[in-house]
C-alpha cells in the first residue's frame, strides 16, 4: 500500500520551475510529468494538478516533519512578491522576470548535500552536476525505500565521505573539486563545522563559516545559505546573474535594500536570463 499526501496548490507554486530553476539536482521529470527524486532520505514523486499537489510515497508524518519545510509551505509567496514590487515599483525588468518565474519557490534542502552539490557546481554544467551528485549517492549513499520502479539513493553523510577518502572520490571523476569535498567532509565530520549550529548565526557569520571550507567562496556559500538555510537575504552572483545585472542595471543593483527578498529576486533574474527562449 503506497501512501500519499495531497495539499492545495499555492498560488505561486509550479513544479517545473521549482525543479528546473537550478536550485536542486536530485529530481527528474518522468514521462507522466511528475517529478521523482529523493530528499531527507525519502524517495517521493511530486504530482501537480491545477488545484492540488500530491506527494506519492509520503505519509502525514513525513509531510509535517519534512515536506512542509522542504517546499517552504510556511512562506507566503504572494506577500514576498508584493514586497518586491513595492520595493522596486519602477523596475520593469524585474516585473517581467517575476511574471516569467511566477511559480518559483525556494526549497529548504539538506545542508550537507547542498554544500557538496554547489562545490561540485563550480566551473561545471548542470547535466554533469546532476550526474556527479547521482554517482556519489549511488556509490556511497543508502538506498531508500521506493514505492515504484527505479532506485533512489541518499547523498552519503559527511562521515561517510570523509571515510572513503580522496582516492575513491577521484574515481568518481569529480576532478579538481576532490580536495574541496574532502576538506568539507573532514571539517563537518570532525565537528569543526556544525552545519546545524551555524544555522543559528546571522547571515554574514554563516557565510564566513561556510567559506572556511576550501573551495567554498562567496557564491557557493550564498547558494547554500539560500537553498538549504532559507536565507532570503542572500544574493548569489554567478555568471548569469552578473550578465543580467550588467545588461539591465548598469548603474548597479543594491540587493542589500531587499533584506527579506533578495534571494528570491536573484532566482527570478537568474531564471529569466538563463531560460528565456
Partner DNA sequence: GGGCAGGTCTAAG
Partner DNA sequence: CTTAGACCTGCC
Q: How far is the CB of 187 from DNA (least distance, A)?
A: 12
Say how many residues touch DNA, by CB under 7 A: 34
Calpha distance 12→262 (Å, rounded) = 17
Calpha distance 163→165 (Å, rounded) = 5
Q: Which stretch binds DNA (CB under 7 A): 63-71, 81-89, 138-146, 170-178?
A: 170-178
- In the range 8-37, which residues lie near DNA by CB under 7 A? 21-23
- In the range 71-110, which residues lie near DNA by CB under 7 A? none
Which of 217, 246, 257, 260 is close enough to bind DNA by CB under 7 A?
217
Which of 44, 47, 97, 221 is close enough to bind DNA by CB under 7 A?
221
* Nearest partner of 87 among 215, 277, 268, judged by Cα: 268
Q: How far is the CB of 134 from DNA (least distance, A)?
A: 13
C-beta separation of 107 from 71 below 8 A = yes
Interface with DNA, residue 239, by CB under 7 A: yes
| Residue the block writes with cell 499555492 | 10
Q: How far is the CB of 112 from DNA (least distance, A)?
A: 17
Q: How far is the CB of 273 from DNA (least distance, A)?
A: 8
Which of 89, 127, 191, 250 is close enough to bind DNA by CB under 7 A?
127
Interface with DNA, residue 146, by CB under 7 A: no
> How would DSSP label each residue in 85-112?
HHHSTT-HHHHHHHHHTTT-------HH
C-beta separation of 179 from 166 below 8 A = yes
Q: How far is the CB of 129 from DNA (least distance, A)?
A: 7
Neighbours of 77 (CB within 10 A): 18
- In the range 174-203, which residues lie near DNA by CB under 7 A? 174-177
Q: Is the dihedral of CA 199, 205, 207, 209 positive or negative?
A: negative
Phi/psi class of residue 57: alpha, beta or left (left: φ > 0; alpha: ψ in -120 to 50)? left
Calpha distance 27→34 (Å, rounded) = 10
Interface with DNA, residue 243, by CB under 7 A: no
Which residue, 185 or 221, is less far from DNA as judged by CB?
A: 221
Q: How far is the CB of 3 from DNA (least distance, A)?
A: 31
Calpha distance 223→231 (Å, rounded) = 9
User: Interface residues with DNA (CB under 7 A)?
Assistant: 21-23, 121-129, 170, 173-177, 211, 214-221, 236, 238-241, 270, 274
Amino acid at each position: 500500500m503506497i501512501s500519499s499526501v495531497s495539499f492545495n496548490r499555492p498560488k505561486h507554486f509550479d513544479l517545473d520551475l521549482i525543479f528546473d530553476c537550478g536550485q536542486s539536482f536530485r529530481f527528474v521529470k518522468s514521462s507522466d510529468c511528475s517529478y521523482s527524486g529523493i530528499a531527507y532520505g525519502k524517495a517521493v514523486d511530486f504530482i501537480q494538478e491545477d488545484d492540488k499537489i500530491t506527494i506519492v510515497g509520503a505519509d502525514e508524518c513525513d509531510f509535517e516533519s519534512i515536506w512542509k519545510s522542504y517546499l517552504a509551505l510556511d512562506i507566503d509567496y504572494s506577500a514576498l512578491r508584493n514586497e518586491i514590487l513595492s520595493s522596486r515599483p519602477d523596475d520593469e525588468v524585474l516585473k517581467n522576470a517575476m511574471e516569467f518565474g511566477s511559480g518559483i519557490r525556494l526549497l529548504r534542502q539538506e545542508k550537507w548535500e547542498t554544500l557538496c552539490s554547489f562545490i561540485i557546481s563550480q566551473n561545471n554544467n548542470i547535466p554533469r552536476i546532476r550526474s556527479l551528485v547521482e554517482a556519489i549517492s549511488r556509490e556511497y549513499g543508502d538506498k531508500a525505500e521506493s514505492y515504484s520502479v527505479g532506485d533512489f539513493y541518499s547523498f552519503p553523510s559527511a562521515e561517510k565521505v570523509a571515510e572513503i577518502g580522496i582516492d575513491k572520490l577521484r574515481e568518481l571523476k569529480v576532478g579538481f573539486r576532490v580536495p574541496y569535498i574532502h576538506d568539507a567532509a573532514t571539517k563537518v565530520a570532525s565537528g569543526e563545522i556544525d552545519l546545524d549550529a551555524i544555522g543559528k548565526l546571522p547571515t554574514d557569520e554563516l557565510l564566513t563559516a561556510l567559506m572556511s571550507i576550501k573551495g567554498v567562496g562567496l557564491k557557493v556559500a550564498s547558494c547554500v545559505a539560500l537553498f538549504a538555510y532559507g536565507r532570503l537575504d542572500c544574493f548569489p552572483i554567478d555568471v548569469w546573474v552578473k550578465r543580467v545585472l550588467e545588461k539591465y542595471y548598469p548603474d548597479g543593483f543594491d540587493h542589500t535594500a531587499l533584506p527579506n527578498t533578495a534571494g528570491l529576486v536573484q532566482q527570478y533574474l537568474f531564471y529569466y536570463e538563463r531560460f528565456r527562449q
